[in-house]
Chains A and B, each alone.
Chain A
Amino acid sequence: MLHFGFRVIIFFLAYCKCVLLSAAEQNFPEFSWHGLADFRYQYSAAQTGWAEGGLGKFRFGGEASRVRVNEVALVLQARWWEWSGTVIAKYAHDQKLPIDLTEAFLQYRPVSTTACRFNAKLGMFFPPISLENTGTAWSSPYTLSSSAINSWVGEELRTFGAELHLNYNFDTHDRLDVFAAGFLNNDTVGTLLSWKGWSLHDYEATLHDKLSLPQGIGIKSNFPFQANETIPFIEVDQHFGFYTGVTLDSQEMGKFRLLYYDNMANPQAIKEGQYGWHTRFWSLGSKHELPYEITMIAQGMVGSTGMGKLKEGKRSVDVDFWSASALLSKSIDIHRFSVRFDYFVTDQNDSLPLDNNNETGYAWTFNYNFTLAQHHQFNFEVNYIDSDRPARLSQNQAAHQEELLWQFAYRIFY
């Protein structure tokens, strides 16, 4: 008599064979692919960028002009009945592995013939925070550099788990969506936000990524077990994290999304030179269509992150953070004009005042783009950031910095 587990496997394989044969007969699954290639000219008048070990607010800084292939992304999709599978692979300048994954997930979207609907997502994907990054491969149609909040989402946040949605569709086409997710592999979130602060860029960390930490600010002396680079996606303590939220999408009132996130990490755990950072935050976003066909996207986030042992009631690193941004965008035919204001703060309250993670700053972003024949997009963008970060004194730089980045981009979507 066959072992029960073995019989289950045989049954499962037989079921898969039936499904695949049936699918092949009906020309399923249907495969599709698309993507983008992004070429840049940049001129920066800024501090050394954070990807270069500096405490500048851009990824790459200095007094420099650069021409580069910024990103090439490929999105592969397969659909069969209510299921779809999506894999997003990309090359980006200075990425750890030249080609790596930013997202890879299965979606289950059964049609409901009632007003209630259930959807699920399983795999590696972005938590639903950004209301700007709605384009191909998480690109933004409004700006090149994401807001401070969404830049951080890109560099440190990713869900490795399952996200479930239950939504109610009103006759007016309005929709109320309640969602929740459980995840692993995101225990170091908060590392970069604490040690380098907020920043503006368009880099999305990848599955096998390792990201630079600021040099010369005493991380190694205060935390000798910390590796030279942070691994954004690693499971340190085997604890599940979660987030939950609600989205209201109304044609007349606009879109609102509230989310609470807690990675439930053990702040005293350490593995492969990576600490667990207990990070939790609230995120609120709204998108409205204003008069004169102006789109407004506002996002806010408030939370805290901490790591290390408790000493007299304080952890080694304990940082409260908040940020808010407001974007106005107007599209006229093939042209789009966007302006965004960001404000950001980190405020430390920990047992190591020498490891100074305080920061305040604001940023302005202006973007003009036009899209030809649906495929070819030309962008002109300028970012101005004014920030105070006392840790810069350790790098022999003034704490207060004004930084500027000019960019011209040609993006082709295929």
Chain B
Amino acid sequence: MAICLPHFLLTVMRFIFRVCLLTPLTALAMSGEVMDGEGAPLMDVVITLTPLLEDKASSENAKKTINIVMDQQKREFVPHVLPVKAGTHIVFPNSDDIQHHVYSFSSAKRFEIKLYKDTPANAIVFNQAGVVAIGCNIHDWMVGYIYVADAPYFGKTDASGRWNLDVPAGEYRLALWHPDVKTSFVLPNEVVHVPSVSPLRHSILLKSHPQTGKPPSSLQLEEYAGDF
């Protein structure tokens, strides 16, 4: 039986086209840099990328359950800012040799882990998107943030203010968040096309004296127990 060459080529092309449609699109790197109002690199800025059109791959990704740790080391929450996706189970180990009392009254997740050392038996589940500010009832300076993202792609800036995210090509809404943003400052929230020119550059104005979540610089300042 003779094979018609044009028909064969057409069949092969159709096959390739179908495979391309079924296979997740190749992830492309997006990157950016965030500075504060004085031009210094700003760490702990949460970056979220939400596709404008439904993205099957990201939807599948969002359903996965993962366990993450928010540690307490040297009377400080580590990391200071922790972006997670909704549904994440977070464990709050206490790596210090003194007790901590972790709590949050943020509307996205209200919880309390009373005075404890070591690792609690149960993780806390963060289902609702939003910012969960956490504190310690013993050490008032201890502040940390869990950013529960409803976006499928998210990350945060490192100490040099840089971020990188691998996302499929397409149109996205890019949003930035930082715990110490000045109240009057409107955080960047814009549509970006992937691929596009990277790195993206943003700057964020901060409050004049942000809460670092770190212990005071001297022992004298830690311990007047009388104030509320």
Task: Report whether B224 and A136 are in contact in the complex, using a CB–CB cutoff of 8 Å.
Answer: yes
The distance in angstroms between the C-alpha atoms of A76 and B146, with both chains bound, is 34
Task: Report whether A141 and B220 are in contact in the complex, using a CB–CB cutoff of 8 Å.
Answer: yes
Task: Report whether B138 and A169 are in contact in the complex, using a CB–CB cutoff of 8 Å.
Answer: no
- A121 → B minimal CB distance (Å): 8
Task: Report whether B225 and A114 are in contact in the complex, using a CB–CB cutoff of 8 Å.
Answer: no
Q: Which residue of B lies closest to A113 (CB)?
A: B110
| A-B CB pair tally, cutoff 8 Å | 108
Q: Is A107 an interface residue (CB 8 A)?
A: yes
Q: Is B111 an interface residue (CB 8 A)?
A: yes
- A294 → B minimal CB distance (Å): 11
Contact of A413 with B219 at beta-carbon distance under 8 Å, contacts A86-B226, A105-B226, A177-B228 already known:
yes
Contact size class for A? 35 or more
Contact size class for B? 35 or more
Contacting residues, chain A, for B202 (C-beta < 8 A): none
The distance in angstroms between the C-alpha atoms of A112 and B98, with both chains bound, is 22
The distance in angstroms between the C-alpha atoms of A27 and B97, with both chains bound, is 12
Contacting residues, chain B, for A377 (C-beta < 8 A): 218, 220
Which among A34, A119, A133, A173 has the highest number of chain B CB atoms within 10 Å? A173
Contacting residues, chain B, for A82 (C-beta < 8 A): 137
Contacting residues, chain A, for B117 (C-beta < 8 A): 27
Stretch at the interface among B56-64, B69-77, B204-212: B204-212
Task: Report whether B219 and A34 are in contact in the complex, using a CB–CB cutoff of 8 Å.
Answer: yes
Contacting residues, chain B, for A126 (C-beta < 8 A): 226
Contact of A375 with B219 at beta-carbon distance under 8 Å, contacts A111-B101, A251-B209 already known:
yes
Q: Which residue of A lies closest to B115 (CB)?
A: A81
Task: Report whether B225 and A413 are in contact in the complex, using a CB–CB cutoff of 8 Å.
Answer: no
Contact of A109 with B226 at beta-carbon distance under 8 Å, contacts A28-B115, A172-B183 already known:
no
Contacting residues, chain A, for B220 (C-beta < 8 A): 36, 135-136, 139, 141, 371, 377, 411, 413
The distance in angstroms between the C-alpha atoms of A262 and B218, with both chains bound, is 36
The distance in angstroms between the C-alpha atoms of A172 and B185, with both chains bound, is 13
Chain B 182-209, CB-CB to A under 8 Å as 1, else 0, gives 1100000000000000000000000111
Question: Which of A135, A172, A252 is close to B221, meaning CB atoms less than 8 Å apart?
Answer: A135
Chain A 40-83, CB-CB to B under 8 Å as 1, else 0, gives 00000000000000000000000000000000000101011110
Q: Is A84 an interface residue (CB 8 A)?
A: yes
Contacting residues, chain A, for B210 (C-beta < 8 A): 251
Task: Report whether B219 and A113 are in contact in the complex, using a CB–CB cutoff of 8 Å.
Answer: no
Chain B 83-103, CB-CB to A under 8 Å as 1, else 0, gives 000000000000000110101
The distance in angstroms between the C-alpha atoms of A128 and B224, with both chains bound, is 12
Q: Is A94 an interface residue (CB 8 A)?
A: no
Task: Report whether B223 and A136 are in contact in the complex, using a CB–CB cutoff of 8 Å.
Answer: yes
Contacting residues, chain A, for B48 (C-beta < 8 A): none
Contacting residues, chain B, for A334 (C-beta < 8 A): 217
Task: Report whether A289 and B209 are in contact in the complex, using a CB–CB cutoff of 8 Å.
Answer: yes
Question: Which of A125, A167, A289, A411 is close to B208, meaning CB atoms less than 8 Å apart?
Answer: A289
Contacting residues, chain B, for A136 (C-beta < 8 A): 219-220, 222-224
Task: Report whether B112 and A111 are in contact in the complex, using a CB–CB cutoff of 8 Å.
Answer: yes
Chain A residues numbered 95-130 whose CB sits less than 8 Å from any CB in chain B? 103, 105, 107, 109, 111-115, 119, 121, 125-126, 128
The distance in angstroms between the C-alpha atoms of A36 and B224, with both chains bound, is 12
The distance in angstroms between the C-alpha atoms of A293 and B227, with both chains bound, is 23
Q: Is A396 an interface residue (CB 8 A)?
A: no
- B184 → A minimal CB distance (Å): 9
- B107 → A minimal CB distance (Å): 8
Contacting residues, chain B, for A81 (C-beta < 8 A): 114-115
Task: Report whether B105 and A252 are in contact in the complex, using a CB–CB cutoff of 8 Å.
Answer: no
Contacting residues, chain B, for A11 (C-beta < 8 A): none
Contacting residues, chain B, for A32 (C-beta < 8 A): 98
Contacting residues, chain A, for B218 (C-beta < 8 A): 141, 371, 374-375, 377, 413
Q: Is B133 an interface residue (CB 8 A)?
A: yes
5 contacts between A and B (CB under 8 A): A79-B115, A134-B224, A134-B227, A135-B224, A251-B210
Known: A75-B223, A79-B138, A251-B209. 12 other contacts (CB 8 A): A32-B98, A75-B225, A79-B115, A86-B226, A105-B226, A107-B225, A109-B137, A113-B111, A141-B221, A179-B228, A251-B207, A252-B182
B residues neighboring A (CB under 8 Å)? 98-99, 101, 103-106, 110-112, 114-115, 117, 133, 137-138, 143, 182-183, 207-211, 217-228
